Every structure is written in structure tokens, then in C-alpha cells.
Amino acid sequence: MKQFKTESKRILDLMINSIYTNKEIFLRELISNASDAIDKLHFISLTDSEVNSDFKIKITIDKDARTLTIEDNGIGMNKEDLEKNLGTIAESGTLDFKEKNEEELIGQFGVGFYSAFMVSDKIEVLTKKYKEDKAYLWTSKGVEGYEIKEAVKDGVGSKITLTIKQNSDEENYDEYLQDYVITSLIKKHSDYIHYPIKMDVKKTKEVDGKEETFIEEETINSMVPLWRKNKNEVTTEAMESFYMDVFHDYEKPLKCYYSKIEGKVSYNAMLFVPQKAPFDYYSKDFKRGLKLYSSCVLIMDKCEELLPDYFGFVAGIVDSSDLSLNISREILQKDRQVKQISSSLEKKIITEFKKWLEEDRESYTKMFAEFGQTIKFGIYNSYGMKADELKDLLLFYSSKAKKEVTLKEYVSNMNAEQKEIYYATGDSIEQIDALPLAEKVKDKGFEILYLKDKVDEFVVKMIGKFEDKEFKSIADGDLGLDSEEEKKEIEDKQNDAKPMIEELKEALGGKVEIKLTNRLKSYPACVTAVGDVTLEMEKLYRSMPHANMPKVEAEKQLEINVEHPIYSKLESLYQEDKEKAKKLVKVLYYEGLLLEGLPVENVPEMINDITDILV
Ligand code: ADP
């Protein structure tokens, strides 16, 4: 007897003692495994004429023995496969037991083969692999472990025999031994499987006026993959449940699209936008891509060439009869037809997303919150080449609307005197909203876009202009909002204060200029960047591992609000106690850094400076 791997044991335990209400999914999981195994052999059969290509999945019920059998003539497994595949759960390492309850865990991952333990006491897998002589029998009664023995079997493929649990007070397991229950489960979840799922069904006929029962093998599923049906036969509900089954998602997709294209390259495609990013979406392990079929034969599970990476979150399948069946990864990358399909899907998604944005802003915003970053990276990674195509899909939070708006909406709301698109950067809506420089701009009635993703500022720089309007950061000095008098007034003040400023700026180590400003409202001061490196770029640099990178640091200035009482205080302190005045300047600088989300390098020094001012 061999032990299961620890993680697998936990899942097994979960399955055996499951109170999960949707136990019936086990059948869908086993049929889907059988279909995958046949897909693999089907693919081989294209180049190996010796393979018996009469593919099928056979379901048998034996009420007396309480067994349900799922048999396929697919690729089969050898001893190593059994150890590897059924001794451990492939991705169990990524299952987060702590945060999810049982319902979510099973729902989300389906947990494949193991789900059969929800309804069975014992599972046997008799299997023989393609091109191998020996067959094996894998047996397990649950957590104690499993056994693998050599066995005898005709033909390749796998036969999974479940010994169904006895009824309990809460659960009626007998139903999984009923023909009509099993047939209806197959119709419900596995109808589209494109190999016949056969069952011996009891039938009656009349012979000489008497009813006689007889057994006939019947194909239960329609075998027409959903994506091959006529558009008018495919309901949204059908697509949604197809998506959940095939892509193992426990939530309906936000959007489903079906297209049937006849043209230079003909293909059928079904695309789905999930509600949430898959758990590994932001990890290196995430593989994007669509399932690629050629005339219903699966040739690749994740074909990334079919979609640009900025739509990498879109799931789906593509089936084309125009593709060569033995297409390899290398050929795929250059294949003209694949390129055509990919570019037509890309156009389709862009058009559909624009429609979605107009017709259902709420759900589009949900999608954008989840996947908008990926779309923005499309503009960033292409150095702006994709900007024209993608810019209309972007949403940014607006200070005025207090929700996400498009660039088009922003521009159409601009008043005549405004020449540029104003934006502010920061780490969150709240932080940007509290930026000292934002206050007066908002007060004067201007709308500001809040750029809170690290990539955002690069994105707007790469877009360059939107409807002839340039983007301008509110931190970028002159926004042209002041009258000539106002400008003159502040210049005079700056000139008058020159000796004081020159002396006080020593407190900041000589690296930071001091400027007087009237563009602040309630805050005493702020820190802004002068020169090409913005504060946002410095923050981005600080957030990255940068062992071998040249240091990126913004040249900074401290802007002090002349309309704030703190400025008069500074002036009088300068007369009475220059050292204290210098400390005050330092404290204003610390405040400015913190408001921008930048760190104060020497915290003890800051504490001492603040304390000195307070006493
Ligand atoms: P998943 O299907 O998500 O990979 P499962 O736990 O359902 O996870 O199955 C684990 C693996 O066992 C499969 O990936 C496949 O390699 C193998 N397997 C399961 N059922 C069969 C089968 N009927 N024929 C061949 N291999 C199978």
C-alpha cells in the first residue's frame, strides 16, 4: 500500500467527508478526463494508422455490485503515469485551504479525479497505455493509500470503476446507479463531448401483444460541440455552463462571444471573459491562450498565438478546418492562417469591448478593474504602437464624476479655456484625492484623472495626445490657470524672499530648491519634481529590484504655500530663530514627501526635528 502525498491526502479527506451539495460533478470530471485521454490518442491516430480510431466512452451500471464504470479507449496510463497522476493532485500546491471553504474549493478546482471519492468507497482504475504491453490496476479505498498491480486488459485506454457508497441519512447515493439519473447528468454536463458516450439502456417493445424488455447500446450525448452549432441554437446559458465545465470556473463568465467566420480562413470561435482573474494569473505559471481545434480534434490546449497578450485574460476555443492537423508550435508562430485568425479575433474583441463599454458600463467597469492593467500593458509594451487601437478601451477615475470615465468623456467635458488633459498620480484614489496640488485645480472646476496604477503615467505618455489634447500632470508646474496678476504677485514675493530662501534651503542639504506658490489651498507645502524624472518614476524605481540599475531619483523642489499661516510663521521665525526656521522647512519637506507616498530616509532625524519645533 502506498501513501498519497500529504496535500493530496487533505483533498481526499475533504472529498470523502464532503457535504458539498453538487456531488454530481464527479461524472463530468471523469468523462472530461476520458475525453482528454481520447483527444491525445486521436491526435496520434492522425499519423499512426494502427490506432483503432473507433473512439468512445462507455458508461456501465451494475446495481447488484453497486458499481458505476466509465471506460475510454484513449491514451491510457502506465505505472509511472498512475503514480504521478493519481498519487498526487497536480496543482495541489496552489490550493489555498485556509482562505477557502469546502464549497469554494471544490467548486473552483473541480478537483478532478478525486471528486469521485464524494460518491464512492472504492475506486479502481484498470488501464493500458498506447504502445505498451503491460496493463495495471490502481485501487484505492481512500485516505489509507493506493495500490498498483499488474493486470490484464484488452485494448488501450482506461476503465474507472466506482463502488458507490451506501445511502446515508443525508444522502441518496443510490441515484448514481439509476440509468435515468446518469443519462440526464450526461446530457446536462457532457452533451458537447465530441466522442460518443454510450450506455446500455433498457428498452421495451411489443412482441405479440406483450411488452418485452431488451437492452440496447445508445449514444447519450449529441456530440455536437457547442461551437459547431448554429448561432441561433446557442443560448447564453448554454455558453455559460459550457465555459464553467470546460474552463473549471465556478462563476459564470462576465461575457460570452460566439463567432462563426467564413472567409479566407474559416473558423468558429467562442470567447469568454471571466469574472475574476484565475488564481495564478499574475504568476509566472499562468499560461494564456485559447484551445485550438482542427475539425473538432484538439491540437493545442493553450495556443497563445491566437490572442495578443493584452487580451491574455480572455478564455476560449477556436476550431478551424483550414488548419493542418499536425501543426507544431514552431510552425504555429509563423502560420499565416493562425495570424489571420488572431488578428480577426483581436479586432472582434476590440469592437465588442467598445460596444460593451457603451451598453453596460457597470459590468465593463468590473472587467476593467480586474483586467484593465493587462490592456494598459498592451500600450506600454508596444511602445505606444497599439495606443490608437486600445486607448478607447481605457477607464480612469475622475475627480469630478467620482467614478471611472473614458478619455473621450473627459475631453468632451472639458471647458473651453482648458487646453490639456489634467492628471494626478499616486497609489490610490484616496491618496491622490488628498494631494495638496489637486485641491485648487478641483476648486476651480477642472476635472482630474487619477492615475493609480504604476503603468498609467507611461501609458498616457505613450498615447501622447488624445483628440489633439496633451496630457499634463497637475504636479508639472504651470497649468496656465493663474491670471497675469496672480503670476506677477507670486514672482514678486519670491524675489523679495530670495535672501531668506537661499539661507533656509541649506536645511535641505542644498539639493532641493524652495519655491513659493499660490497653487495650494489648505496644505502648507508640497514636494514636486523638476526635470524629466517624475516622482512617479522614482516610486516605480523604488518598487523594483534594482541591483544593477542606475539610480532613478527625481530632482525635487519644496513649494511653500504663501497663503498659509505657516508661511508668516516661517517669516517671523527666520527673524527670531534661524535654526528653528530651518527645522520648520525640513518638517514641511518631510510632509511633502509623505503626501506623495515617498519615504523619509532618516526617520529618527525627522522625529527629532518635529520634537524640536514643538518645544
Ligand atoms: P486534471 O484532469 O485536472 O489534470 P485529474 O485529477 O482529473 O486532474 O487527473 C489527473 C491526471 O490523470 C490527468 O491530467 C491525466 O493525465 C490522468 N488521467 C485521468 N483520467 C485519465 C484517463 N481516463 N485516461 C488517461 N489519463 C487519465
pLDDT tens-digit profile of 165-179? 999 988 899 999 999
Note the pLDDT of residue 321: 86
Which amino acid is residue 135, in one-letter code?
A: A
Quick one: which of 42, 22, 389 has its CA closest to 194?
42
Residue 266 Cβ < 6 Å to ligand 1: no
Q: Give the residue, by CA position, lying nearest to ligand 1 atom 13.
A: 85
Note the pLDDT of residue 316: 97
Residue 450 Cβ < 6 Å to ligand 1: no
Residue 77 Cβ < 6 Å to ligand 1: yes
Sign of the CA dihedral with 142 first, then 144, 145, and 147 last = negative
Residue 90 Cβ < 6 Å to ligand 1: yes
Strand partners, 196: none
pLDDT tens digits, residue range 118-131?
999 999 999 999 99
- Rounded average pLDDT over 201-228: 90
Note the pLDDT of residue 296: 80
* CA 90 to ligand 1 centroid distance, Å: 9
Mutate to test the pocket of ligand 1, among 33, 55, 195 (most ligand atoms within 8 A of CB): 33
pLDDT confidence bin for 554, thresholds 50/70/90: very high
* CA 70 to ligand 1 centroid distance, Å: 13
* CA 91 to ligand 1 centroid distance, Å: 12
pLDDT confidence bin for 576, thresholds 50/70/90: very high
Mutate to test the pocket of ligand 1, among 29, 36, 153 (most ligand atoms within 8 A of CB): 36
* CA 247 to ligand 1 centroid distance, Å: 15
Q: Give the residue, by CA position, lying nearest to ligand 1 atom 8.
A: 112
Query: pTM (2 decimals)?
Result: 0.74
Residue 157 Cβ < 6 Å to ligand 1: no
* CA 33 to ligand 1 centroid distance, Å: 5
Note the pLDDT of residue 97: 58
- Rounded average pLDDT over 387-406: 96
Which helix or strand (DSSP H or E) is residue 38 part of?
Answer: helix 25-45
pLDDT confidence bin for 92, thresholds 50/70/90: very low
In ligand 1, the atom with minimum distance to the C-alpha of 72 is 23
Q: Give the residue, by CA position, lying nearest to ligand 1 atom 14.
A: 85
Residue 342 Cβ < 6 Å to ligand 1: no
C-alpha cell at 536: 512617479
For residue 63, pLDDT beyond 60? yes
Determine how many CB atoms are found less than 10 A away from the CB of residue 28: 19
* CA 50 to ligand 1 centroid distance, Å: 24
C-alpha cell at 171: 444522502
Name the burial class of residue 546, with classes exposed (0-12), middle (13-18) and buried (19+) by CB atoms within 10 angstroms of its CB.
exposed
Residue 12 Cβ < 6 Å to ligand 1: no
For residue 95, pLDDT beyond 60? no
Residue 113 Cβ < 6 Å to ligand 1: yes
* CA 352 to ligand 1 centroid distance, Å: 36
For residue 481, pLDDT beyond 80? no
Q: Is 403 helix (H, G, I), strand (E, B) or coil?
A: coil
- With a CB cutoff of 8 Å and minimum separation 6, the contacts of 9 are 3, 143
End-to-end CA distance of the chain: 76
* CA 114 to ligand 1 centroid distance, Å: 10
Note the pLDDT of residue 573: 94
C-alpha cell at 378: 498592451
Note the pLDDT of residue 99: 58
CA distance 375 to 368: 9
CA distance 51 to 423: 64
CA distance 82 to 525: 68
Residue 112 Cβ < 6 Å to ligand 1: yes
pLDDT above 70: percentage of residues in the chain: 95
In ligand 1, the atom with minimum distance to the C-alpha of 89 is 6
Q: Which residue has the cell 495495471?
A: 136
| Residue 219 vs residues 74, 184, 195, 361, 406: alpha-carbon distances, Å | 18, 12, 9, 44, 52
In ligand 1, the atom with minimum distance to the C-alpha of 40 is 25
Residue 37 Cβ < 6 Å to ligand 1: yes
For residue 41, pLDDT beyond 60? yes
CB 606 within 8 A of CB 600: yes
pLDDT tens digits, residue range 326-359?
666 677 778 888 999 999 999 999 999 999 999 9
Determine how many CB atoms are found less than 10 A away from the CB of residue 41: 22
Determine how many CB atoms are found less than 10 A away from the CB of residue 599: 10
Quick one: which of 339, 334, 333 has its CA closest to 320?
339
Residue 381 Cβ < 6 Å to ligand 1: no
* CA 113 to ligand 1 centroid distance, Å: 7
CA distance 564 to 567: 6
The overall average pLDDT reported for the chain is 90
Residue 82 Cβ < 6 Å to ligand 1: no
Note the pLDDT of residue 579: 94
Sort strands 555-561 and 513-517 into parallel, antiparallel or unpaired.
Answer: parallel
Note the pLDDT of residue 377: 93
- Rounded average pLDDT over 26-40: 92
Mutate to test the pocket of ligand 1, among 41, 75, 85 (most ligand atoms within 8 A of CB): 85
CB 196 within 8 A of CB 219: yes
Residue 85 Cβ < 6 Å to ligand 1: yes
CA distance 449 to 447: 7
Quick one: which of 571, 581, 609 has its CA closest to 593?
609
In ligand 1, the atom with minimum distance to the C-alpha of 34 is 23
Note the pLDDT of residue 545: 72
For residue 132, pLDDT beyond 70? yes
**CB-based contacts of 357-364 (< 8 A; 24+ apart in sequence):** 357/392, 357/393, 357/406, 363/254, 363/255, 364/395
Q: Give the residue, by CA position, lying nearest to ligand 1 atom 11.
A: 85
Q: Where are the beta strands (DSSP E) in 55-194?
A: 57-62, 67-72, 120-128, 135-142, 145-151, 157-164
Q: Where are the beta strands (DSSP E) in 523-586?
A: 525-530, 555-561
Which amino acid is residue 334, in one-letter code?
A: K
Q: Give the residue, by CA position, lying nearest to ligand 1 atom 3.
A: 112
- Higher pLDDT: 101 or 420? It is 420
Q: Give the residue, by CA position, lying nearest to ligand 1 atom 20.
A: 33
Q: Which residue has the cell 506623495?
A: 596
* CA 29 to ligand 1 centroid distance, Å: 9
Strand partners, 59: 70, 199
CA distance 152 to 136: 7
Q: Give the residue, by CA position, lying nearest to ligand 1 atom 12.
A: 85
Residue 74 Cβ < 6 Å to ligand 1: yes
- Rounded average pLDDT over 265-282: 92
CB 201 within 8 A of CB 166: no
CB 479 within 8 A of CB 528: no
Residue 34 Cβ < 6 Å to ligand 1: yes
- Higher pLDDT: 537 or 138? It is 138
Mutate to test the pocket of ligand 1, among 55, 69, 113, 131 (most ligand atoms within 8 A of CB): 113
